[in-house]
């Protein structure tokens, strides 16, 4: 099949000598010592991309939130819990990073305060005050040592439109859009279908295993990356 041919060709050396940093999984934002806010990201897509990048010859650093996944071989894994920790690890990685893929589902907000002891329930209702987390992918794309920067847009409505807005606003090189309202694809599924969008074009990628899709995605990404370096 075309997908297999692409994978074969790609596996060889498409990213030889390229330093790739990938974030994956959810983040957890502590409310108190036992409670937290998180999201349904399994980390499977980011881990599959890390595997595919290694196969393509890249040196891969994988910054992983709390997930139940085994690291691909030859990947340097950095485990983090919160968005602030992931932000710090991402910033630290930029000194030696040619390409950054933000596949993590980073919590946009965290509790304004982490309570040190377990909160005792008493009132019939309460509210948690939240503050914005650092925008990791935007911080990477606007950094002086800016790598080739690829983001994800996991949305439940107007997916392509939101993704294009995010591409422009955050000054990304590429964005990968997927519709997480469809349980056949997205967060906890082993399969995914996405649209790759860049400034001036887009390409839909049909439903496939996250592993197979990652190879096709990285083939596309490697081509765009080389073009960006050639100009």
Nearest approach in angstroms of CB 208 to a second copy is 22
Which of 13, 19, 39, 199 is flagged as catalytic? 39
Which residue lies nearer to a second copy by CB, 27 or 149? 27
Pick from 227, 225, 222: nearest CA to 49? 222
Write out the two tokens for 203. 């390409």
Backbone angles phi, psi at 160, to 5 degrees: -65, -40
Nearest approach in angstroms of CB 151 to a second copy is 14
Give the full edge-to-edge strand order of the sheet including 75-79.
75-79, 59-64, 19-24, 99-102, 148-155, 174-179, 191-198, 201-209
Which residue lies nearer to a second copy by CB, 41 or 149? 41
Active site residue 188: no
Spatial separation of the C-alpha atoms in residues 45 and 191, rounded to whole Å: 9
Nearest approach in angstroms of CB 192 to a second copy is 15
Per DSSP, 96 falls in state: G
Residues 6+ apart with CB under 8 A from 130: 109, 110, 111, 112
Angle at 140 between CA 227 and CA 207, to 5 degrees: 60
Which residue lies nearer to a second copy by CB, 11 or 162? 162
SS3 7: helix
Residues lying near a second copy in the complex (CB under 8 A): 31, 33-41, 68, 105, 107-109, 112, 117-118, 121, 123-132, 154-157, 180-181, 187
Nearest approach in angstroms of CB 74 to a second copy is 25
Pick from 177, 207, 203: nearest CA to 190? 207
Nearest approach in angstroms of CB 11 to a second copy is 31
Task: List active site positions.
Answer: 39
């Amino acid at each position: 099949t075309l997908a297999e041919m692409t994978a074969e060709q790609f596996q060889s050396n498409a990213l030889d000598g390229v330093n790739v940093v990938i974030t994956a999984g959810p983040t957890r934002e502590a409310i108190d010592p036992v409670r937290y806010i998180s999201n349904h990201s399994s980390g499977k897509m980011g881990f599959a991309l890390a595997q595919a990048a290694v196969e393509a010859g890249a040196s891969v650093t994988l910054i992983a939130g709390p997930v139940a996944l085994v690291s691909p071989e030859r990947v340097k894994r950095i485990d983090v819990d919160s968005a602030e920790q992931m932000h710090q690890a991402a910033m630290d990685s930029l000194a030696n990073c040619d390409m950054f893929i933000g596949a993590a589902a980073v919590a946009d907000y965290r509790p304004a305060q982490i309570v040190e002891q377990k909160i005792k329930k008493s009132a019939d209702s309460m509210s948690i005050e939240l503050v914005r987390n650092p925008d990791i992918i935007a911080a990477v794309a606007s950094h002086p040592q800016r790598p080739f920067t690829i983001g994800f847009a996991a949305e439940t409505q107007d997916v392509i439109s939101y993704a294009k807005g995010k591409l422009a606003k955050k000054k990304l090189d590429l964005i990968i859009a997927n519709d997480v309202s469809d349980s056949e694809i997205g967060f906890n599924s082993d399969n995914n279908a996405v649209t790759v969008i860049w400034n001036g074009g887009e390409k839909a990628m049909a439903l496939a295993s996250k592993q197979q899709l990652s190879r096709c995605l990285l083939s596309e990404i490697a081509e765009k990356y080389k073009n960006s370096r050639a100009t």
